[in-house]
Amino acid sequence: MSGYQTRQDRVAIAGAGDLLIRSLLDRQQFFDPLGEAQRIGISPAAWPMFGLLWPSGAQLAARLALRPVHAGERILELGCGLALASLVAHRRGADITASDCHPLAPDFLRENLRLNDLPPLPYRHGQWGVPATSNWSASAGDYDLVIGSDLLYERDEDGTLAAFIGEQVGPRAEVWIVDPDRGNRPAFNQGMHALALAVDFQGFAERAPHLRIVKRLFQDTDHPALIDRGDGDFFFSIGRGQQTHHMPVVLLHGCWPFFREGAYLAAVYGNAFLDLSYGIPFLSRPEMRSMTRAALGAAPLSKLMYSSDGARVPELHWLGAHDGRRLIGAALGELVDDGDLTAAQARRGGEQVLRDNARTLYGLGGGA
């Protein structure tokens, strides 16, 4: 007799076929007769959490179901629990390794593989930052994708989780973390930034957990990194870490509503550029004027660009091009009236912002 009760459910995964999943019956289950969980800090209240199905795990599995399988790519799931995402990827033929520290995680994984007629799946047992609990080998790192859900249930004040992720990823890896935001993100973000990992935020549907796509920025490239900032997203440090010091970084969407901070970064960092898309044409005209004036007033004209940010509706491209020229021209005209620029300098500045800077940065051809 196991000492705990279980249930079996057919779990629907968006973008993939259903899975039969054995899980714990409820949060009241507890069975740690040898004290294995207690020795690694898993309390009776936290003991059943690994064996329950969580919305974050389903979101991660659905996201992974839509990702193409790449030959030779290695994936690692941290804190897998019932390993829903790992099972989805494994069934699709991906090379994925599941991992967790709970004593019963491998038993549930084996049973769920059996229920779904799947071959064995690589599993690594242990707790990040506690080598004595782990069976991680020296060659465990260099994963191309590291994923996890509900990992930030505790504050990562000492950067243990971030440091462990840094040890596992290769030079061009991605890290996906689905998190319902329990207030523990800031410490984790700081740890990731200290490792020169830049963070981008994307949302699922309203009220759903947030997916964080964390991409390592690497130094040995001349291609610019486009950072999708704006609309109130978290603002990150460009200058942290050697990996970002020389690679061009383009801050999209004018960093709105942080457009002044974006213009400042473009002014003080030689590798930072500010693209005024989104602000034009999607804001009110007073706000578009304010953003354009702030950008042209703080950042060098050689560090600013404009793209229409039109999508789906063709008229948005026309509207963006029309409003962009008009607003940038008006802001440059004000600088001429105030004596900051000559008419010739303003004309040349408009050509740079609307055309030449992008051609130079992206290596585009074409004449004047």
- Preceding peptide of 281 cis, ω within 30°: yes
Helix spans in 147-200 (H) = 160-168, 185-194
- What's the pLDDT tens digit per position in 159-182? 788 888 888 887 778 888 887 777
| pLDDT over 80 (residue 367) | no
Q: Is pLDDT larger for residue 84 or for residue 66?
A: 84
**What pLDDT does residue 232 have?**
39
| pLDDT over 60 (residue 1) | no
Whether domain 1-216 has CATH 3.40.50.1000: no
- Preceding peptide of 257 cis, ω within 30°: yes
- What's the pLDDT tens digit per position in 17-42? 899 999 999 989 999 999 999 998 89
**What pLDDT does residue 345 have?**
94
pTM, two decimal places: 0.59
**What pLDDT does residue 174 have?**
83
Confidence of residue 236 (pLDDT cuts 50, 70, 90): very low
**What pLDDT does residue 131 have?**
61
131-140, 304-313, 357-366 — most confident range: 357-366
Question: Which region among 245-254, 261-270, 289-298 has the lowest average model confidence (pLDDT)?
Answer: 245-254
**What pLDDT does residue 176 have?**
86
Confidence of residue 150 (pLDDT cuts 50, 70, 90): confident
**What pLDDT does residue 93 have?**
95
Contact 184, 97 (CB under 8 A): no
Q: Residue 95 has which token pair?
A: 């090379």
| pLDDT over 90 (residue 316) | no
Residue 254: other Cβ atoms inside 10 A:
28
| pLDDT over 60 (residue 210) | no
**What pLDDT does residue 180 have?**
77
- What's the pLDDT tens digit per position in 72-120? 999 999 999 999 999 999 999 999 999 999 999 999 999 999 999 999 9
Confidence of residue 126 (pLDDT cuts 50, 70, 90): confident
Question: Which region among 27-36, 132-141, 311-320, 338-347 has the lowest average model confidence (pLDDT)?
Answer: 132-141
| Strand (E) or helix (H) holding 200 | strand 197-203
- What's the pLDDT tens digit per position in 255-274? 777 888 888 888 888 888 99
Confidence of residue 49 (pLDDT cuts 50, 70, 90): very high
Confidence of residue 319 (pLDDT cuts 50, 70, 90): confident
Q: Residue 350 has which token pair?
A: 């408009």
**What pLDDT does residue 250 have?**
87
Residue (of 31, 156, 23) closest to 83 by Cα position: 23
- Percentage of the chain modeled with pLDDT above 70: 79
| Strand pairing category for 197-203 and 210-216 | antiparallel
Rounded distance between C-alpha atoms, residue 39 and residue 61, angstroms: 30
Q: How many residues does the chain have?
A: 368
Q: What is the CATH number of domain 220-368?
A: 3.20.20.140
Delimit the domains of the chain by residue range: 1-216, 220-368
